[in-house]
Amino acid sequence: MATEIKVPVLGESVTEGTIAEWLKQPGDAVAADEPICSLETDKVAVDVPSPVAGVMSEHRASVGDNVEVGAVIAVIEEGATASAAAPAATPAPAPAPAPAAAKADTPAPAQSEALLNPAQTMSPAVRRAVLEHGVDPSTIKGTGKDGRLTKEDVLAAAEAKKSGGAAPAPAAPSPAAAAPAPAGAGRNSERVKMTRMRQTIARRLKGAQEQAALLTTFNDCDMSAVMEARDKYKDLFAKKHDIRLGFMGFFAKAACLALKDVPAVNAYIDGDEIVYHDYVDISVAVSAPNGLVVPVIRDADKKGFARIEQDIADFGARAKAGTLTMEDMTGGTFTISNGGVFGSLMSTPIINPPQSAVLGLHRIEDRPVVRNGEIVIRPMMYLALSYDHRLIDGREAVTALKIIKEAIEDPTRMLIDL
User: 314-352, pLDDT tens digit by residue?
Assistant: 988 888 877 887 788 888 999 999 998 888 999 999 998
Residue 105 lies in a domain: no
For the cut 70, the answer to whether the pLDDT of residue 290 exceeds it is no
Residue among 362, 365, 402, 363 at smallest CA distance from 217: 402
Quick one: pLDDT at residue 12?
A: 60
Quick one: pLDDT at residue 233?
A: 92
For the cut 50, the answer to whether the pLDDT of residue 91 exceeds it is no
Structural domain that includes position 364: 198-415
Domain termination site, one of 28, 50, 83: 83
For the cut 70, the answer to whether the pLDDT of residue 122 exceeds it is no
Residue 164 lies in a domain: no
Q: What percent of the chain has pLDDT over 70?
A: 80
Mean pLDDT, the chain, integer: 81
How many distinct structural domains can be found in the chain?
2
Instruction: Give the residue, 257 or 162, on which the prediction is more confident.
Output: 257
CATH number of the domain that 359 lies in? 3.30.559.10
Q: Tell me, yes or no, whether 369 and 235 share the same domain.
A: yes
| Interior/surface letters 293-330, b for 16+ CB within 10 angstroms, e for the rest | bbbbbeebbebebbbbbbbbeebeebbbbbbbebebbe
Cα separation, 358 vs 350, in Å, equals 7
Quick one: pLDDT at residue 293?
A: 82
Contact by Cβ (8 Å): 295, 231: no
Lowest mean pLDDT among 83-87, 193-197, 233-237: 83-87
Residue 124 lies in a domain: no
Contact by Cβ (8 Å): 39, 56: no
Q: Tell me, yes or no, whether 210 and 73 share the same domain.
A: no
Residue 174 lies in a domain: no
Instruction: Give the residue, 354 or 204, on which the prediction is more confident.
Output: 354
Residue 278 lies in a domain: yes
Instruction: Give the residue, 176 or 406, on which the prediction is more confident.
Output: 406
Quick one: pLDDT at residue 268?
A: 95
Lowest mean pLDDT among 80-94, 122-136, 141-155, 261-275: 80-94
Considering the candidates 133, 241, 277, 389, report the single residue annotated as catalytic.
Answer: 389
Q: Tell me, yes or no, whether 75 and 215 share the same domain.
A: no
- Max mean pLDDT range (147-151, 160-164, 165-169, 274-278): 274-278
Residue 134 lies in a domain: no
Active site residue 311: no
Average pLDDT over residues 38-56: 81
Indicate if the alpha-carbon torsion angle 303, 306, 307, 311 is positive or negative: positive
Quick one: pLDDT at residue 82?
A: 57
Average pLDDT over residues 63-86: 76
Q: Tell me, yes or no, whether 243 and 370 share the same domain.
A: yes
Quick one: pLDDT at residue 132?
A: 74
Average pLDDT over residues 42-52: 79
Quick one: pLDDT at residue 255?
A: 96
For the cut 80, the answer to whether the pLDDT of residue 411 exceeds it is yes
Q: Tell me, yes or no, whether 64 and 213 share the same domain.
A: no
- 93 Cβ neighbours under 8 A, 6+ residues apart: none
Quick one: pLDDT at residue 103?
A: 43
Task: Give, in order, the Cα–Cα distances in Å from 47 to each of 63, 76, 314.
Answer: 14, 16, 19
CATH number of the domain that 17 lies in? 2.40.50.100
- Max mean pLDDT range (98-102, 133-137, 166-170): 133-137
Residue type, 255: A
Domain termination site, one of 37, 54, 83: 83
Average pLDDT over residues 197-214: 84
For the cut 60, the answer to whether the pLDDT of residue 63 exceeds it is yes
Residue 316 lies in a domain: yes
Give Cα 16 distance to the centre of its chain: 20
For the cut 70, the answer to whether the pLDDT of residue 104 exceeds it is no
Considering the candidates 33, 105, 299, 393, report the single residue annotated as catalytic.
Answer: 393
Active site residue 393: yes
Note the pTM of the prediction, 2 decimals.
0.64
Backbone region of residue 94 per phi and psi (left: phi > 0; alpha: psi in -120 to 50; beta: other values): beta
Instruction: Give the residue, 169 or 135, on which the prediction is more confident.
Output: 135
Domain termination site, one of 59, 83, 107: 83
Residue 402 lies in a domain: yes
Residue among 382, 21, 63, 26 at smallest CA distance from 223: 382
